[in-house]
A and B are shown apart, each in its own frame.
Chain A
Amino acid sequence: MKLHEYQAKEILAKYGIPVPPGKVAFTPEEAREIAREVGKTVVIKAQVHVGGRGKAGGVKLAKTPAEAEEVAKKILGMNIKGLTVKKVLVAEAADIAKEYYAGLILDRSSQRVVMMVSREGGVDIEEVARENPEAIVKYPIDPHKGLRPFEARQIVIDAGLEGNLNKLADVLVKLYKAYVGVDAFLAEINPLVVTKDGEIVAVDAKIDLDDNALFRHPDLAKLREVEAEHPLELEAQNYGFAYVKLDGNIGILGNGAGLVMYTLDLVNRVGGKPANFLDIGGGAKADVVYNALKLLSKDPDVKGIFINIFGGITRADEVAKGVIKALEEGIVKVPIVMRVAGTAEEEAKKLLEGKPVYMYPTSIEAAKAIVAMVEGKK
């Protein structure tokens, strides 16, 4: 789950990392009031879950409270890459001397959380990694010992950061504590600024949380934003499905993430475009399949459905019963192509005999059939 910049900064502040004074505003009037409280030049930043806010005009300076109101009026309601800006962060503009990067990521190869620090901050770190990889110091952290101050100081020295060594190291130690404290997947400060007065401030921050650990952070789980995700993805979540909305027109339903991914690949290979990824999971009963079809039928993009089942713990006849219920209730109005194999395959085929479902013996034949039907219907 992604957090907004202002939410990430609230977490960093809680862990003792200095952030520029400021607050979030929902209206131009609020922006004016916050700018007045700050009493200095402020920066007004759109709070949306997409990159490239600055280039899109979503980040602007304002010297006076009146100007802050005017700028906020322009940014609020702005459309950035398909998302409407509903709030802005109004914060003191830092007096920048140096811009650095500090981030923590989960590194799958070393199976550790890795601290990455670079002199080249304020730019896209992936670009630095591509063009100037030696400018990034990477330090895998022992999960049982954490990041100790002596290690953090050495990272600062190795990265060649200039400024108060102890204060810079302290930010790294606290960033790791925050990462572990909120169960993050990613936490980064970019830029980490050294001001002309020698102060150290986290001017921009990004935190992604581990969805698997949200149960132990109910306060953070509440921050999930309904409008930030596709409505069908939210509904799928309520049903407990793994669902991803894609931009094609063939609804895909299967059991097991690997099988569903494979089904998407096959549809793509024969020239079709999947409308979604939908995994009903292991051991699904008829009502789960019924709910999954109900969900797919709410997607206006879906012009045909491909159900791919390999019965293991999941019984193919249960799947068939769910499909039949959805058909009888008239929920599905587009053609259904099915391929079932494995546990209770014969029972499933018998149940589906004479039903308006196109059955194919292999995944690839079924994929070709659904693509032909959907394309033919254009």
Chain B
Amino acid sequence: MILIDRNTRVLVQGITGREGSFHTRQMLDYGTKVVAGVTPGKGGQEVHGVPVYNSVKEALKEHEIDASIIFVPAFAAADAALEAAHAGIPLVVLITEGIPTLDMVQAVKEIKDLGIRLIGGNCPGLISAEESKIGIMPGHVFKRGKVGIISRSGTLTYEAAAALSDAGLGTTTTVGIGGDPIIGTTFKDLLPLFNEDPETEAVVVIGEIGGSDEEEAAAWIKEHMKKPVVAFISGRSAPKGKRMGHAGAIIMGDVGTPESKVKAFQEAGVPIAETIDEIVELVKKELG
């Protein structure tokens, strides 16, 4: 597995809000080590037994923290990510949807310059099966196994994980990288980690229309990847210029078309599944 395991100590930013509180409960139930929460102005409270602080720095005085998950509303979300990064938390997971794009352009650069890994925004987070969940996915569909998943979509990831689990293949770590045009971590940033992870035997990449992250991932796979990769692309029938739910799922001119993504994966020798069920078949075939 990569990035997180049962020992990862987690901070929840925006813990007193509806989403933050709900998912803190869910994460605790999964076994995630949630050690502290932050909501500015609500320091001193407790949420599901987790102490709340006014700032990330304040939380760090009392706890050792390896990762932060952010449920702060869109207008303040990029600021919250910057707070975590400047406090030196090495992994920041930004769940919030609808963050102003220019906020993300600034924050992503600044956070990268600090050497911090940002996942999201507009993402479901990540999960190492039966170890730790720093996200909002339904934990029970992820059975421990040998396939890593990287995805731009939420629900489709759960489907793929459930199908892989039902087939007895199971998953190692699953990372939802987010559906926005500007995100902290892309496919090609995570492929090297799975490539070196002894538990992961194959990787499933769930892409969609818009941007060129899939093409860049394909180029990396062609050069460096030692393990089999299976790809899936959603939105293949979407009309040009229309935003399909995700802010990033839009074909602009000739960029972001499914044809270009299919071609890039084919050139990298990566089989493309046409349906979710076919993902399982292809992974089985690749693993022999």
Contact = CB atoms under 8 A, between A and B. Distances in A.
A130 B249 CA distance: 23
Contact of A257 (B103, B108, B179): B179
A108 B211 contact: yes
A215 B245 CA distance: 19
Q: Which of A180, A258, A279 has the most CB of B within 10 A?
A: A258
B133 to A, nearest CB: 12
Contacts of B211: 108-109
A142 B159 CA distance: 39
Contact of B237 (A126, A210, A256, A264): A264
Contacts of A274: 237
B253 to A, nearest CB: 5
Given A212-B74, A212-B100, A258-B155, A106 B234 contact: no
Interface stretch (A150-158, A164-172, A307-315, A319-327): A307-315
Chief secondary structure at chain B's binding surface: loop
A212 B151 CA distance: 22
Chief secondary structure at chain A's binding surface: mixed
Nearest to B179: A257
Contacts of A264: 235, 237-238
A363 B273 CA distance: 14
B182 to A, nearest CB: 5
A84 interface: no
Interface in B252-288: 253-254, 274-277
How many interface residues does chain A have, given as a range?
35 or more
Interface in B133-166: 136-138, 140-141, 151-159, 162
A126 B253 CA distance: 7
B87 to A, nearest CB: 19
A277 B244 contact: yes
Given A112-B105, A144-B106, A244-B244, A106 B181 contact: yes
B110 interface: yes
Contacts of A331: none
Interface string A242-269: 1010100000001111111110111111
Nearest to A211: B247
Contacts, number: 156
Contacts of B244: 242, 244, 257, 260-261, 277
A362 B277 contact: yes
Contact of B101 (A212, A246, A266): A212
Nearest to B103: A213
B50 interface: no
A109 B105 CA distance: 11
A263 to B, nearest CB: 9
Nearest to A185: B101
Nearest to A309: B155
A213 B206 CA distance: 28
Contact of B249 (A257, A268, A269): A257
Given A258-B153, A258-B156, A313 B234 contact: no
Contacts of A313: 136, 138
Contact of B235 (A130, A143, A261): A261
A279 B245 contact: yes
20 contacts: A108-B248, A144-B109, A211-B247, A212-B101, A212-B247, A213-B100, A242-B245, A244-B245, A256-B156, A257-B153, A257-B246, A257-B249, A258-B156, A258-B234, A259-B159, A261-B209, A261-B235, A277-B242, A282-B154, A311-B138
Interface of B: 74-75, 98-103, 105-106, 108-110, 136-138, 140-141, 151-159, 162, 179, 181-182, 206, 208-209, 211-213, 216, 234-239, 242-249, 253-254, 274-277
